[in-house]
Structure 1
Amino acid sequence: MLHYRQADLADIPRLQVIRAAVRENILSNPALVTVPDYEEHIRGPGRSWVGEEDGVILGFSSAHPGGRSIWALFVDPAHERRGIGRVLLDHAVAWLWTFSEVDAVQLTTAVGTRADNFYRAAGWSDTGRSRSGEVIFRLPRPGR
């Protein structure tokens, strides 16, 4: 049965495997995302969640209140299109809304990807391009 929980440090090796397995938004240099990066998004100040089934992590999301952003949202390609990403995104966004100073959440992703379409369908607004050419998405706090 699929369930969701907050990630812990022991999950990092599996998160790295999932991040490396994606078909889009592939890291040009995987060494740029380090174990301390994952730790910062598990122990704090960020937070991460995993979706798992039968003890196997199938996807994860990570948010950071300082950047008011979604740092990561990835699902094992073998388990895509099951709604796992949407639930994980909802966990991350809901946590960011617990910070009163967060009036909007942002993230970036590659142009023309499934992720680009996913965020548009979820109600995120395209607010321009980053220096690297990625789409900058923004989601305002409800009621603002």
Structure 2
Amino acid sequence: MQATTLPAAYEIRAATTGDIDDLFLVRASTRENAIAPGRLAELGITPAALHETMLAGTSVTWVCQTDGQVVAFCSVQPSSGEVTVLAVRAGHERRGIGRELLAAAVDCLRASGCRRIWLAASLDPRLRSHGFYRANGWRPTGRLVGHGDEELELDGSLN
């Protein structure tokens, strides 16, 4: 993955359990594919569940913040090699934040020994995520996963 340089006002750091409420706010305020906390709870994604996975280390998350406000985050599951979510709050797109967070996620998965790195994304080419992942080396595997999303694999992740 090609790293970018973030604007000076932005900082990426490891998330803590103190960031959990902010993660839910960001997820609900993306420009495309926003998911409200109630819908996430229906999927089993609650603050308590996230707290548990963060403490257990089964989920690793990074946040991007500016002026003390979390504006984006990315989470992975090292046991499966999956990037589970990348979300950037509306108004903070196109600044390299997503690319930097995704690079941190991939580095973590590689350091964890993952040979296969993958994620699920919408099939809809009208969504920015469709082109974003492909432009950053992710390729469709031909498999569909939950909710009709397609599975993408990072080129070269099996090397």
TM-score w.r.t. the length of structure 2 is: 0.82
- Aligned match of 1:17 in 8, 14, 25? 25
Q: Which runs of 4+ in 1 moved over 4 A?
A: 140-143
Q: Alignment partner for residue 130 of structure 1, among 122, 138, 145?
A: 145
The one of 40, 58, 74 equivalent to 1:45 is 58
Where does structure 1 lack aligned partners over 5 or more consecutive residues? none
Structure-2 change in CA distance of 1:96 and 1:41 (3 Å): farther
Q: Say if 2:101 is the partner of 1:83.
A: no
Q: Is the 8 A contact 2:119 2:152 kept in 1?
A: yes
Check the 8 A contact 2:137/2:155 in 1, yes or no: no
Q: Residue 120 of structure 2 contacts residue 149 of structure 2 at CA under 8 Å; is this kept in 1?
A: yes
Give the RMSD, CA atoms, in angstroms: 1.8
SS, match of residue 123 in structure 2: coil
- Structure 2's unaligned 5+ residue stretches are 1-8
8 Å contact from structure 2 (residues 31, 89) kept in 1: no
The percentage of counterpart residues that share the same residue type is 34
Matched, 1:5 2:13: yes
Distance in 2 separating the partners of 1:63 and 1:90:
11
Segment drifting more, 12-21 vs 129-138: 129-138
TM-score (structure 1 length as normaliser):
0.89
What's the CA shift for 1:24?
A: 2.2
* CA distance in 1 between partners of 2:146 and 2:22 (Å): 30
Q: What amino acid does structure 2 have at the position aligned with 1:75?
A: V
